[in-house]
Amino acid sequence: MRWIGNPNRAEAGQGPGQLIEMILHRRGLVNANERELFLSPKLARLSPPEQIPGMKVAVELLERHLQAKNSMVIYSDYDVDGITSASVLRLFLEAMGASTVRHFIPDRKKEGYGLTSKGLERCLEAGTKPDLLIVLDCGTNSRVEVEKAKSAGMDVLIVDHHQIGDTAPSDALVNPQLGKEDHHLCTAGLVFKLCHAYLKATGKKDQFDLRTVLDLVALATVADLVPLEKDNRIFVREGLKRLVQTVHPGLRRLMEVSGSGARTPTTFTLGFQLGPRINAGGRVGEATAGLDLLLSRDPTETARLARDLDLQNRKRQELEAMALEEAEEEIGESPEGLGLVAASDRWHPGVVGIVAARLVRKYHRPSFVIALEEGAGKGSGRGLPGVSLMDALRACAPCLKGFGGHEGAAGIVIEADRVEDFRKILGAWLEKSVRPEIFEKSLSIEMCLLPEHLTPEMARAVGAMAPFGKGNPEPVFQIEGVQMATAPRVFAERHLKFRAQVGDRKFEVVGFDFAQRPPDRPTFDLAGSWEWDEYTDAPRWRMADWR
Ligand SMILES: [Mn+2]
């Protein structure tokens, strides 16, 4: 792996505070005020909710229907963001005295993604006709469906963060993409803003404690992979604190069944333990289970739903593991083309996106995984930084039946007999349009440290930069002239542990997935993180690479 990044060199005598300042400065937080805000994110510093386009009209619409005690239905997408935003809004509306609110989540297999005619039909058949249809995490461009709802006599409120195309004629549309500045909020973040704006406008601040839903907003923010900066950073940092004593019994149950109850929650807890279980229903089972769990206050019901979701998540993991193994087998150890395309009729369509993401991690190539059924294929693709999947797919359009998505993640519809053409055109386009170094695995180093900087205080100072994730990566350090102080020890088959030393300073090193690749020369350089290990209550170096 190539080490890049032109790192700063920390000097002797510099303390943790100074080093963190340097890192933040390098990351673009050039004035002291910004850095201070970053290190101490506080709820009071959330940006005013009225800044989001469409907010004022949305608040008025909501107030009118709440005043009139009208019936409402929340229609949301089946992913974590959709499910979570529906739970937040429903809790809020009920606290505001809404008498009849129900929710609806479309079926991935039968009705597909977003606000569709089929989904809307079943939603309306499922209960009394609502006076207000609230569409979450989708709907921005669902012109036909919104027109249908309007002509059936409903008002329509849409809260969404997807790109604006042919905007649907709703009565209110809260979507930051309507403005000049992208706020990078997920839909649950937007729902929080809507509730906040409503409470401010109506003077009902004492009727709902917005802090109680921060753990839900944090969950969606991490799961939806929006950048963890500005308001998102405040949501996640405060939400993680709230999660420890969550007021949502279903969330607590889910922490228990996922084995994440004992440790201090992190973005890992949200993104890899709770998130996948919340939407496991949407992938391989009953889509509403996750939402029912978040809303339920009945201990028997929450226990049952959490267990069900955990089982479905295991089933998903099995389906994922099988598809991944077969896809890797199909691709081989050193793939030929620059774009990977794997297809099979044995793979569950609910796991193709996750498998594509895994292929990208392993091969460092844009990857598409397609589930075939009776000659037709539905696929999902994941890209690389520096490659626009949408541009690539536009070039491949002649052999696709349809495609859509973002720069980094996209979905396709394709006939089975066009898969080979797709692979060829994709490979040719990538070769022609993308700089070759993009396909080289590299590690961006932020700073070279000296042995004297490897202190407990430094590990805590780095920890103050958390939560880490998209938009706020954990800093990668380099340290030179390292030697083994103890022989490396393999644990849990795949991982490595040893004590290292530079000069007379010794420190612990852990290398996840490094059992097969221990440093094998007397003196080497290390790249990795300097972190606080909660288990041993001591700092350690987590290896990213050595050379
Ligand atoms: Mn979303």
Ligand 1 centroid, distance to 386 Cα (angstroms)? 22
Q: Among 391, 416, 439, which residue terminates a domain? A: 439
Together in a domain, 89 and 217: yes
Q: How far apart are CA 269 and CA 223, in angstroms?
A: 10
Together in a domain, 310 and 387: no
Domain assignment present for 516: yes
Domain assignment present for 407: yes
Ligand 1 centroid, distance to 224 Cα (angstroms)? 6
Ligand 1 centroid, distance to 136 Cα (angstroms)? 9
Ligand 1 centroid, distance to 359 Cα (angstroms)? 23
**Helix or strand or coil: residue 467?**
coil
Domain with 21 in it: what CATH number?
Answer: 2.40.50.460
Ligand 1 centroid, distance to 141 Cα (angstroms)? 14
pLDDT of residue 318: 95
Ligand 1 centroid, distance to 532 Cα (angstroms)? 32
Q: How far apart are CA 541 and CA 250, in angstroms?
A: 36
Could you give the angle at which helices 16-26 and 456-463 cross, rounded to 10 degrees? 30
Domain assignment present for 323: no
DSSP secondary structure letter of residue 184: -
Together in a domain, 462 and 533: yes
pLDDT of residue 9: 95
Residues 6 or more apart from 239 whose CB is under 8 A from it?
Answer: 214, 215, 216, 217, 218, 219, 221
Ligand 1 centroid, distance to 84 Cα (angstroms)? 10
Q: How far apart are CA 271 and CA 201, in angstroms?
A: 34
Q: In Å, what is the CA distance from 194 to each residue of 246, 261, 290?
A: 22, 31, 22
Ligand 1 centroid, distance to 137 Cα (angstroms)? 5
Domain assignment present for 371: yes
pLDDT of residue 266: 93
Ligand 1 centroid, distance to 208 Cα (angstroms)? 24
CB 155 within 8 A of CB 14: no
Together in a domain, 132 and 212: yes
Together in a domain, 291 and 381: no
pLDDT of residue 547: 95
Domains in the chain: how many in total?
A: 4
Domain assignment present for 270: yes
Residue written as tokens 């249809």? 133
Ligand 1 centroid, distance to 273 Cα (angstroms)? 18
pLDDT of residue 90: 97
Together in a domain, 248 and 278: yes
Ligand 1 centroid, distance to 327 Cα (angstroms)? 28
Q: Among 404, 439, 474, which residue terminates a domain? A: 439
Picking from 540, 532, 534, 547, the residue whose alpha carbon sits closest to that of residue 506 is: 540
Ligand 1 centroid, distance to 135 Cα (angstroms)? 12
Residue pLDDT, tens place only, 328-337: 999 988 888 8
Ligand 1 centroid, distance to 398 Cα (angstroms)? 29
Domain assignment present for 101: yes
pLDDT of residue 334: 82
Note the pTM of the prediction, 2 decimals: 0.90
Ligand 1 centroid, distance to 1 Cα (angstroms)? 33
Together in a domain, 218 and 117: yes
CB 216 within 8 A of CB 262: no
Domain with 393 in it: what CATH number?
Answer: 3.10.310.30
pLDDT of residue 344: 96
Together in a domain, 468 and 507: yes
Ligand 1 centroid, distance to 463 Cα (angstroms)? 28
DSSP secondary structure letter of residue 48: P
DSSP, residue by residue, 6-23: --EE--TT--HHHHHHHH
Domain assignment present for 261: yes
The residue segments making up the domain with residue 7 are 2-38+445-546
Q: Among 205, 236, 267, which residue terminates a domain? A: 236
Ligand 1 centroid, distance to 367 Cα (angstroms)? 22
Domain assignment present for 325: no
Together in a domain, 429 and 449: no
**Helix or strand or coil: residue 428?**
helix
Q: How far apart are CA 307 and CA 138, in angstroms?
A: 29
Q: How far apart are CA 293 and CA 295, in angstroms?
A: 5
Ligand 1 centroid, distance to 193 Cα (angstroms)? 15
Q: Which two tokens stand for residue 101?
A: 């609110």
Low pLDDT (below 70) residues in the chain? 284-285
Together in a domain, 176 and 86: yes
Ligand 1 centroid, distance to 60 Cα (angstroms)? 24
Together in a domain, 108 and 202: yes
Ligand 1 centroid, distance to 517 Cα (angstroms)? 39
Ligand 1 centroid, distance to 225 Cα (angstroms)? 9
CB 471 within 8 A of CB 228: yes
Domain with 134 in it: what CATH number?
Answer: 3.90.1640.30
Amino acid at 8: N
Ligand 1 centroid, distance to 82 Cα (angstroms)? 6
pLDDT of residue 242: 96
Instruction: Assess whether the previous peptide bond of 518 is cis (omega < 30° from 0).
Output: no
Ligand 1 centroid, distance to 355 Cα (angstroms)? 20
